[in-house]
A and B are shown apart, each in its own frame.
Chain A
Amino acid sequence: MDAKHLLEIKNLHIGFKNDEGVTPTIKDVNIHIDEGEIVTIVGESGSGKSVTVRSILKLIPSPPAIYTQGEILFKGQNILDMQENEIRALRGSEISMVFQDPMIALNPVFTIGQQMENIYLYQGASSTHARLSKKKSILKQEARDRSIYLLEKMSLPNPENLLKMYPFELSGGMKQRVIIAMALIKTPKLLLADEPGTSLDVTVQASINKELKRLVEEEHIAMFFITHNLGVAKQLGKRTYVMKLGEVVEEGLSEDVFLNPKTDYTKHLLDVLPKII
């Protein structure tokens, strides 16, 4: 059955090196996701959500991070054994990501259109340009069409015009939508979303989450979605993992985890949540 999973993290242990030795941070984590599935990861600050998800693309430099034990299997292949160039080939094409802060992901000196085209043409080893012997002008047209399609899907008005704009001309909510569109331009198999939009207005954040969910479902893209907000987790993910101090303490269908929690920790998190009735 294992081979069925798109991504499987098995017995993962990660430590951080410091003066006194190695601090164990991720402890025996087992997480998986299937094709087209949306899975949420919740847990309090410092519980290891970001480290776990970033380890999937080996985004945490080693050292200080030490992958002490375990495997991260993507389509059956262990990412932890891969060479840097193999991992680079996955990034942005097969696996892409969106992070919390919308500013770092955008380059201030290029237009949105240039940046999207650039990703479409050149990112990943199996980049569209390398894989297909198409003419560059045709590829550019494809990049443009796909960009406009995605920007429209993210409810951005007048996408043609937006392609000509620079990041500083956009509001926070627009930037976040653009970043999501960029992450999806190569139709990755897996999207890693680490609290996107938490810096935005709540009404904006709510609509972005809705659009993101609809879009990945339509394109059959699997997504890990990290959040502090249990309500958001329940709305988005079919399944949920609850993390505490570097361990997964509960997992299951989101309905079950949030309506019939099994562990005291999850119960506690739900108890302290402000209720509106």
Chain B
Amino acid sequence: MSDTIVEFSHVCKYFGGESSLFGHQKKLVKAVDDVSFSIERGKTFAVIGESGSGKTTMARLLMKFETITDGVITVDGTDITTITEKQALKEFRKKVQIVHQDPTSSLNPRKTLKEIIEEPLIVHGVGTKTERLQRVKDLMDVVQLPQSFLERYPHMLSGGQKQRIGVARAIALNSPIIILDEPTSALDVSVQSRVIELLQNIKNEYKITYFFITHDLALVKNFADDVIIMQQGKLVEQGKVQQIFDHPDKMYTKKLLKAIAVVNPEEQAYLDRIIIEEDAS
């Protein structure tokens, strides 16, 4: 039987729409519009969609960084809007961490790598100073960076190395849910493949659930178990990754598949076949 860790039920998030002091109405943006899905524990759940389709907004709702307009989000069976008491909120924050898209702007340039990774541990009062240092060192091992880097600053690292620091920081608290907001889109393919491999190993070892936001369908095919496709705040299609690739149902999904630029003729034939099949039906 399935073990649901996160559930979105008719979730809406609207921005604007309220009248200002002078009676002008701000334009209403339905960033997330009646979206429902559930995520199984230990799976990689991919969110695909064009820019502005509401992907990051969903992630922010899941972290309780935005208030929900309508609908319910549950994490481990608890409606997260009911979590208001300070200590409970802190406990909740420990559960959901994020790796941001741009490794350069998401790491504080004035802090050493040690300080950056240690920060969430301090905020959540984890361990003694010595224990924290040990944890930071272990995390450097997990993300395959030398411990000698700990006194360095972010600008002294390459893009791929910075993203590893982002990963180390996100997994520092053993959070069961990690949001990956386009974790590799700023990276070269070879760097990307190493970061993805790292994320895959970490997931297998610690049974983490990933909420994986991306533009890259080929990456989804290699890395994710389930996928939802978003367009203008609406959920267009959802399913197992293999099923979506084999039998895309909606026009937008087909367009996305068609837009993948592949190198091998076999891959091209696979894409062409899907499209022709679907067009004929």
Enumerate chain A interface residues (CB-CB to B < 8 A).
44-45, 172, 200-207, 228-232, 234-235, 258-259, 268-270, 272-277
User: CA of A129 to CA of B266 in the docked complex: distance in angstroms?
Assistant: 52
From B10-18, B115-123, B170-178, B254-262, the one touching the partner chain is B254-262
CB pair A44–B188 under 8 Å, yes or no, is: yes
Residue B50 lies at the interface, judged by CB distance under 8 Å to chain A: yes
CB pair A45–B215 under 8 Å, yes or no, is: no
Within 8 Å CB of B225, what residues of A? none
CB pair B222–A274 under 8 Å, yes or no, is: yes
CB pair A269–B190 under 8 Å, yes or no, is: yes
In the assembled complex, 24 residue pairs joining A and B whose CB atoms fall closer than 8 Å, in A order, are: A45-B159, A172-B51, A202-B256, A203-B256, A203-B258, A203-B259, A207-B259, A228-B189, A229-B261, A231-B262, A232-B261, A235-B261, A258-B263, A269-B190, A272-B190, A272-B192, A274-B218, A275-B218, A275-B221, A275-B222, A275-B264, A276-B245, A277-B266, A277-B270
CB pair B256–A274 under 8 Å, yes or no, is: no
User: CA of A230 to CA of B263 in the docked complex: distance in angstroms?
Assistant: 7
Residue B249 lies at the interface, judged by CB distance under 8 Å to chain A: no
User: CA of A230 to CA of B189 in the docked complex: distance in angstroms?
Assistant: 10
User: CA of A178 to CA of B219 in the docked complex: distance in angstroms?
Assistant: 31
Within 8 Å CB of B50, what residues of A? 201-204
- Interface size of B by CB at 8 A reads 33
Residue B108 lies at the interface, judged by CB distance under 8 Å to chain A: no
Enumerate chain B interface residues (CB-CB to A < 8 A).
50-51, 159, 188-193, 215-219, 221-223, 245, 252, 255-256, 258-267, 270-271
User: CA of A205 to CA of B219 in the docked complex: distance in angstroms?
Assistant: 17
User: In chain B, what residue has the closest Cβ to A272?
Assistant: B193
CB pair B221–A206 under 8 Å, yes or no, is: no
Within 8 Å CB of B189, what residues of A? 44, 228, 230, 269, 272-273
Least distance between A212 CB and chain B CB atoms (Å): 14
CB pair A276–B221 under 8 Å, yes or no, is: yes
User: In chain B, what residue has the closest Cβ to A235?
Assistant: B261
Say which residue of B188, B255, B266, B267 sits within 8 Å of A203 (CB atoms): B255
Known A-B contacts A203-B50, A203-B256; the reply to A276 vs B263 at CB < 8 A is no
Say which residue of A206, A232, A235, A274 sits within 8 Å of B216 (CB atoms): A274
User: In chain B, what residue has the closest Cβ to A227?
Assistant: B261
User: In chain A, what residue has the closest Cβ to B159?
Assistant: A45
CB pair A231–B259 under 8 Å, yes or no, is: no
Least distance between B117 CB and chain A CB atoms (Å): 25
